[in-house]
A and B are shown apart, each in its own frame.
Chain A
Amino acid sequence: NAGVTQTPKFQVLKTGQSMTLQCAQDMNHEYMSWYRQDPGMGLRLIHYSVGAGITDQGEVPNGYNVSRSTTEDFPLRLLSAAPSQTSVYFCASSYGTGDRSYGYTFGSGTRLTVV
């Protein structure tokens, strides 16, 4: 019963480098999302997806790309890392519709530092 798995747990990047944060869930959740959490700013939605092939922007999408080719995976790509993207990133998933409203399940996070 893995739930939501995020990799890596920690990452240090140099400015301008690109990387992909991985997120996978094994609960057959339609809805997946990415948040960043910064001190004093709370959780801010970056991108979300309501199913394979469907993605949309959240509050702070600039500098990030997503795709959803399968129900299980929702990777987050940093195109050209900037120090302002230093943050803790969380992936979360849930059922999208219907009566199976089991709420939101979060991954354990990726702590990213851009130097």
Chain B
Amino acid sequence: KQEVTQIPAALSVPEGENLVLNCSFTDSAIYNLQWFRQDPGKGLTSLLLIQSSQREQTSGRLNASLDKSSGRSTLYIAASQPGDSATYLCAVRGLYNFNKFYFGSGTKLNVKP
């Protein structure tokens, strides 16, 4: 069964710092990988979607990379801001179990002013 792990579980950084969030998965047979942001008491907002054939995706200050062979993805946040404080989750969609999405437990990010 696919297992998705996110380390660290929590991260606190000063404003302006560049940071990397990690996501690892045990089965490289994935269809795509998606990064989400969740604010307290809110739903999940999609940040970036990487297809299995892609190596990275960028949106503004966010850059997500995918290394399928090693079972890893990273979310890079440049010049962090207090408004980036949220929980970040990654999810993989199975290549052969297409109806299965596997979520990590998230990294809670706090950006201090």
Q: Which residue of A lies closest to B43 (CB)?
A: A108
Q: How large is the interface on A (under 10, 10 to 19, 20 to 34, 35 or more residues)?
A: 20 to 34
For residue A97, which residues in chain B have a CB less than 8 angstroms away from its CB?
98
A-B contact count (CB 8 A): 47
Binding site for B on A (CB under 8 A): 31, 33, 42-43, 45, 48, 50, 56, 90, 92, 96-97, 101-109, 111
Binding site for A on B (CB under 8 A): 31-32, 34, 36, 41-46, 49, 51, 89, 91, 93, 98-99, 101, 103-106
For residue B91, which residues in chain A have a CB less than 8 angstroms away from its CB?
104
Sorted from nearest, which 10 A-B pairs have the closest CB atoms? A103-B49, A106-B44, A108-B43, A42-B105, A43-B103, A103-B34, A106-B43, A109-B43, A101-B32, A103-B46
Most buried by A among B42, B44, B98: B44
Write the nearest CB–CB distance from B94 to chain A, whole angstroms: 12
For residue A105, which residues in chain B have a CB less than 8 angstroms away from its CB?
46
For the complex, what is the distance from the CA of A106 to the CA of B103, rounded to whole Å? 13
